[in-house]
A and B are shown apart, each in its own frame.
Chain A
Amino acid sequence: MSGVEIELRGVTKTFDRSVEAVAPMDLDLRPGRVTALLGPTGCGKSTLLRMIGGVETPTAGSVAVRPKPRIGFCFQEPRLLPWRNVLRNVGLPLELDGRPRDVCRREAQRRLEMVRLGDAAELLPAALSGGMRMRAAVARSLVADPDLLLLDEPFGALDEVTRFRLDEEVATLVREQSITVVLVTHSISEAVFLADEVVVLSPRPARIIERYEIPFGERVASLRGTEEFARLQASIYACLRGGMMEDER
């Protein structure tokens, strides 16, 4: 499998004829790479991600995703079926693919362990905390072995220690299977740790301000302590801040 490639050409999105969420945007994402979208709140990141995932149609321009991918989508909200327990929620994509019940259960359990929710398998979503629900949603997005993974602030609700551990898990997994990933996050350190490239967006309507190539190879915890990591983080912060200041003027 060669991996999924994404090509945006002049993509814009305008809501209700006047709310411009995404300005004309060209963006190419190479197969098997992790791209982080970083930008101020309300700038149009989720809209962009939803257009890549095909659940939102651009007002103008084209989104090409090749070859037709198996998408794992973790929305900004957990979106669990309230009458299904966590295990059956996580196994849903496999079930919809018509896989046998025991495969669904086994794979779902495996992903739950990965996001540290193994003990919560039998609980209903209502019995989970916000962060637990999001982790279940991440597990669901991974369960059917996607080749395109779209993550919208998956770990925003977690404490930093847990978040770091899950970032490490995700980093290992997506690199092992060369999944193409688009990640929306508000955390600069998460973006730098996970991504091969960080795309910094302007306030609404989203434009690309800057693209940062992240040169690290293996993503191990110790990476966060390196000077290079700190330097990248600082310059991305400055860029993001610059975009926001310019907007205020």
Chain B
Amino acid sequence: MSRRAGVFAAVWPPLLVVVILLVLWELVVVLFSIPEYLLPTPIAVGRTMIEQWPRLIAATGRTATATLAGFAASAVLGVVAGSLLSLVPLARRGIYPLTLLLQMVPLVAIAPMLVIWFGIGLPSVIVAACIVSIFPVIAGTLDGLQSVDAGLEEIFRIHRVGRIRTWWKLGLPWSIPSVITGLRIAAGLAVIGAIVGEFVGAYGGQHAPLGAIITSALKQNQTSTVFAAIAMASALGFLLFGLVNLGGWILLRRWHASAQ
């Protein structure tokens, strides 16, 4: 009962803001009679969504596949890379600064290269999603592992525990909160990476994912379709973020209990 009230209390303020914004948007478009190819009204977008629902939902499914695969890859590779960087000081000093590059390389610029390397279709989109979202995971893992309590480390040293076991029994559990923080950021980035990857790297036509739908609709001035696809992509980002939060909450329950 109180739990449901809590969820409701958390949800209604942002929901109210969204509704107000949509109403304002509708009013602005109608009052200034902005043509639909420039900015469709929310109602027009809604209509398009209903009309094209089967195509949109299938496209969302495909984009979701690429996003999830890219996100999963960056979660696993990010934790592994962050752990290796923490275990090998030389690598940390030599390689970690370079991983910053991952963050700074404009994906739009390298996406065409990914197509050359991995071909048109799912693989290059997955790689794009992974490249964009991996850095926060590496950083979160490394930060967590570097901040392990020195007193707890001493306990393991006294028992002559090796570095790998210490990582497994102490470093990794200790780092879970900051890994989760990295994954939260990565979730949103993975969607962006997948969509951008699809701009250049996805099949169009019958099996188009959201990114490809956006580019082809843009070419045909079907702006409300673009917005409908954007809405679906946002929903996807929201869903993934929610899943990460749920997973984090389950893992962190113990930590939360101990942080009180």
Q: Which of B158, B159, B161, B258 contacts A82 (CB 8 A)?
A: B258
Determine whether the beta carbon of B257 is less than 8 Å from that of A126. Answer: yes
Determine whether the beta carbon of A55 is less than 8 Å from that of B154. Answer: yes
Known: A124-B257, A125-B258, A126-B257. A79 touches B151 (CB 8 A): yes
In whole angstroms, what is the CA distance A239 to B163 when docked?
A: 46
CB within 8 Å of B: which of A78-137?
A: 79, 81-83, 92-93, 95-97, 124-127
Which residues of chain B have C-beta atoms less than 8 A from A77's C-beta? 151
Instruction: Say yes or no: is A215 at the interface (Cβ < 8 Å to chain B).
Output: no
Determine whether the beta carbon of B159 is less than 8 Å from that of A79. Answer: no
- Among residues of B, the one whose C-beta sits closest to the C-beta of A77 is B151
Which residues of chain A have C-beta atoms less than 8 A from B259's C-beta? 82, 126
Determine whether the beta carbon of B254 is less than 8 Å from that of A92. Answer: no
CB within 8 Å of A: which of B158-208?
A: 158-159, 161, 165, 169-170, 173
Which residues of chain B have C-beta atoms less than 8 A from A242's C-beta? none
- Among residues of A, the one whose C-beta sits closest to the C-beta of B259 is A126
Instruction: Say yes or no: is A71 at the interface (Cβ < 8 Å to chain B).
Output: yes
Instruction: Say yes or no: is A193 at the interface (Cβ < 8 Å to chain B).
Output: no
CB distance from A19 to the nearest CB of B (A): 18
Determine whether the beta carbon of A79 is less than 8 Å from that of B257. Answer: no
Which residues of chain B have C-beta atoms less than 8 A from A32's C-beta? none
Instruction: Say yes or no: is A73 at the interface (Cβ < 8 Å to chain B).
Output: yes
Known: A124-B254, A124-B257, A126-B258. A53 touches B158 (CB 8 A): yes
Which residues of chain A have C-beta atoms less than 8 A from B159's C-beta? 93, 96-97
CB distance from A88 to the nearest CB of B (A): 11
Chain A interface size range? 20 to 34
- Among residues of B, the one whose C-beta sits closest to the C-beta of A53 is B158
Known: A83-B254, A96-B159. A126 touches B154 (CB 8 A): no
Instruction: Say yes or no: is B156 at the interface (Cβ < 8 Å to chain A).
Output: yes
In whole angstroms, what is the CA distance A40 to B142 when docked?
A: 41
Instruction: Say yes or no: is B255 at the interface (Cβ < 8 Å to chain A).
Output: yes
- Among residues of B, the one whose C-beta sits closest to the C-beta of A82 is B258
Determine whether the beta carbon of A54 is less than 8 Å from that of B152. Answer: no
Among A73, A82, A95, find the residue whose CB has the most chain B CB atoms closer than 10 A: A82
Known: A79-B151, A96-B165, A126-B260. A73 touches B255 (CB 8 A): no
Instruction: Say yes or no: is B157 at the interface (Cβ < 8 Å to chain A).
Output: yes
Determine whether the beta carbon of A71 is less than 8 Å from that of B258. Answer: no
Instruction: Say yes or no: is B155 at the interface (Cβ < 8 Å to chain A).
Output: yes
- Among residues of A, the one whose C-beta sits closest to the C-beta of B152 is A79
CB distance from A65 to the nearest CB of B (A): 12
Known: A54-B158, A55-B158. A81 touches B170 (CB 8 A): yes
Q: A55-B154, A92-B155, A124-B258 are in contact. List 8 more A-B contacts (CB 8 A).
A: A55-B157, A73-B155, A73-B158, A82-B254, A93-B159, A96-B165, A97-B159, A125-B258
The 3 residue pairs across chains A and B that have the minimum distance between CB atoms: A82-B258, A126-B258, A96-B159
Task: Mark B residues whose CB is within 8 Å of A.
Answer: 149, 151-152, 154-159, 161, 165, 169-170, 173, 254-255, 257-260
Mind listing 22 A-B residue pairs with CB under 8 Å?
A54-B158, A55-B157, A55-B158, A75-B151, A75-B154, A79-B149, A79-B151, A79-B155, A81-B170, A81-B173, A82-B254, A82-B259, A83-B173, A83-B255, A92-B155, A93-B159, A95-B169, A96-B161, A96-B169, A124-B257, A126-B257, A126-B258
